[in-house]
Chain A
Amino acid sequence: MTDEFEPRIVAFLCKWCSSAGSDLAGVSRMEYPSNVLPITVMCSGSVSPLYIFSAFNKGADGVLVSGCHPGDCHYLKGNYYARRRIALVKKLLEFIGLEPQRFQMSWVSAAEGKKYTQVIKDFVKEIKPLGPQTKLRRNQ
């Protein structure tokens, strides 16, 4: 292990698009950083703000929520709710002083393995210079 800071990222992936997209990245053997820990949920609309706070509380350096593209939600409109909810959470996190780069949302379809890879690469690259997240971390 090098001494370089390795951020820990929790990624909430919807089952139908983004998780399938990350599977496709795997099937296509597209390499990306191992910093991301995937948690598959049914829909991006089921990601409660509490999940995001919980991840930051427990020491995540970044949190990603990824769902189907707007209009393509497997559950018709779950990702619209996610989009609004996440915009609010993002504002709140910025308000309390968390670097905005640490929390992102992306739209990755089941056919977009390459995009998923890119999202993770960019995310890791953006967070690395920020160092560990301490703002919301408990039991530090």
Chain B
Amino acid sequence: MKKRTGVFVCHCGINIAGTVDVKKVTEELSKHPGVVHSEDYIYMCSDPGQNLIIDAIKEKNLDKVVVACCSPTLHETTFRNTIKSAGLNTFQCEIANIREQCSWVHKDMEKATEKAIKISKSTVERVLRNESLDPISIPVTRRALVIGGGIAGIQSALDLANSDFEVVLVERSPSIGGHMIQLSETFPTLDCSQCILTPKMVEVSKHPNIKLMTFSEVQEISGYIGNFKVKILKKPTYVDPDKCTLCDECTKVCPVVVPNEFDLGLTGRRAIYIPFPQAIPATYILDINSCPGLLPIACGKCADVCEPNAIDFDMKPEIIEEEVGAIIVASGYDQYDKELMAEYGYGKYPDVLDGLQFERLLSASGPTMGKILRPSDHKEPKEVVFIQCVGSRDPELHCEYCSKICCMYTAKHAMLYKHHVHDGQAYVFYIDIRSGGKGYEEFVQRAVEEDGVLYLRGKVSKVFEDKEKLKVWGIDTLIGKDIEIDADMVVLAMATRPSNGAEELARKLKIALDKDGFLAEAHPKLRPVESVTSGMFLAGAAQAPKDIPEAVAQASGAAAKAISILCQERLYHAPTVANVNINLCTGCGMCVDVCPYDALSLKNGKAEVNEVLCEGCGTCSATCLRAAIQVKNITPLQVHEMINACLGG
């Protein structure tokens, strides 16, 4: 086999040539075994520079190319395409990084030149042993899975469906809508949350491309980008949605009353119920945990009065398997556990509420039909204290991060409270006001100026009951004084945290979590909607606390990313994957155990690589005691020869 390597040394103007003697590098490399051609040029990446390479390949019959230039992250693709146009396989080109890792970080020309020579020689040693490879082609299942039916999941599903791709939308609760459907008005425009969300929910339910699976959970995921296999557990609702006519006769006879989750316990519901009037799918469901018994003998009153016979006590959980090409995770958020904030008396005093409960009080469809009344005595509160950063920005005890949405919704709460109770007074305890966003700062100012909301900079140390009032002890750090307020109601802006079960879901999907438990994006700036696992995308507050416009924007971004996969007939995967020498493999299985992608298995006592799953990390190769498994084009032999060249042969 001929080995005719060409080395091309770029000056990059003076970026490289200023510190590295490029002529000397060119000359030294020309003497290196296997190199038959070397030359330098001022800008290799320019058209004339690339043409030099093409001409040299043709004239000197080169079969391998090293370009000594900038980082491979910049022009590796450029030069690989250059040699491709001259008829060589793209993997016969390697980049020697003599700019970022050499000329830019050293000043001594002699030493930098010496280092550049070594880097270039080691790259030649590598390319000499490179195999020609072709990308691995895989077919694409042109459907998507969206996990989570809040606003982010709804938006992603609609974008995908309207682009003519089939979508499976999985939501674990009985209705889609997420937290947004619980909200009263939205900042900064005071749009009614339900009024702007329900049209989208209806569109989801009617869309021919959307398969909606509520009260369902993703149980297992296997496969890879373009071809995932998903097992979904469909929990029984014991009511046939096709037969249920929403007549509401069942709830009239149900003897059970339990706290209503939708109103966060401010009201009660029956064991058979509809989560809220606009629920999608529009059907009642039977809560098995509070129903006295599925045996009709135990109760069965609902089934007796159900005219259309929609109630089916024998309904069983089902496992449904779906195949999809891309996955969007929009698992949302939950409020921080209020039980961990004992100093504010949540749970002990009925008039200490969290942010979402106050949303329900404000909501026109809420337990009080939009009237602000104290849960304890149904009187109108005249003094209301809003406490921000409850659990947020508290690295010692609670969450380190800023929950981002609370400054704005607290301003909204205080403003709406004033709109309902004109003679009332709203106090807000805050650390800082973070109102970055279109129209947000103006909104906070409106609360202060038009509605007379009193902002007090400082934290609250304690809330306790004192003669039918809630005594709030705090501090105003701007005037350096203790503050004591006799409040009628206290509203806590609880920290936002990843939704319950997000960790388990991430484990199933094999996507990473960040230090706070939110789903980790692939790159904080340049790949904000991608997860680290290819083919899986993130949307909404599952990735970080965010408000509605941001969640919607990210959801559309995630959908666009998913579409960029689904619109292709076939996908291509880097062919630099692990390769087993079955003559050396003893079938010990150590590589199988360490593979982060489950790409290895034992077949007939030998390790076998699933080339589509393999990402080429090489963990297997470092584990193998007999060097029987190696990653193509970065084999142990190549590394040893590179070490040799680096240390001067």
Contact = CB atoms under 8 A, between A and B. Distances in A.
Contact of A43 (B101, B102, B619): B619
Nearest to B99: A26
A45 B647 contact: no
A83 B104 CA distance: 30
A39 to B, nearest CB: 5
B2 to A, nearest CB: 26
Given A23-B97, A25-B105, A26-B105, A51 B647 contact: no
Given A23-B73, A85-B622, A45 B111 contact: no
Contacts of A37: 115, 118-119, 122, 646-647
Nearest to A61: B647
A5 B122 CA distance: 23
A31 interface: yes
A41 interface: yes
Contacts of A90: none
Contacts of B118: 37
B640 A81 contact: no
A55 B647 contact: yes
A20 interface: yes
Nearest to A24: B100
Interface in B599-649: 615-619, 621-623, 627, 631, 634, 636, 639-640, 642-644, 646-648
Interface in B63-81: 71-73
- Grouping DSSP codes into helix (H, G, I), strand (E, B) and loop, the A interface class, with mixed when no group exceeds half, is mixed
Given A37-B647, A45-B618, A78-B619, A27 B100 contact: yes
Interface string B46-86: 00000000000000000000000001110000000000000
Contact of B106 (A31, A40, A45, A50): A31
B631 A42 contact: yes
A124 interface: no
B489 interface: no
Given A8-B647, A31-B106, A59-B647, A38 B101 contact: yes
Contacts of A76: 510, 512, 532, 596-597
Q: Looking at A33, A37, A54, A81, which has the most chain B CB atoms within 10 Å of its CB?
A: A37
B543 to A, nearest CB: 16
A62 to B, nearest CB: 12
A26 B112 CA distance: 13
Contact of B615 (A27, A54, A75): A75
Nearest to A137: B647
A104 B99 CA distance: 25
Contact of A39 (B104, B594, B643): B643
A25 B622 CA distance: 28
A54 B646 contact: no
A96 interface: no
A64 interface: no
Interface in A89-128: 117
Contacts of B396: none
B622 A54 contact: no
A34 B112 CA distance: 7
A48 B104 contact: no
A134 interface: no
Contacts of A23: 71, 73, 97, 100-101
30 contacts: A8-B646, A10-B646, A10-B647, A22-B101, A23-B101, A25-B105, A26-B71, A26-B104, A29-B105, A33-B106, A34-B105, A34-B108, A37-B115, A39-B122, A39-B639, A45-B594, A46-B617, A46-B618, A49-B622, A51-B636, A58-B644, A59-B648, A60-B647, A71-B515, A74-B617, A75-B597, A75-B615, A75-B617, A78-B596, A78-B619
Interface of A: 1, 8, 10, 20, 22-27, 29-34, 37-43, 45-51, 54-55, 58-60, 71, 74-78, 81-82, 85, 117
Given A42-B634, A59-B647, 5 more contacts: A27-B100, A37-B647, A48-B622, A54-B640, A76-B597
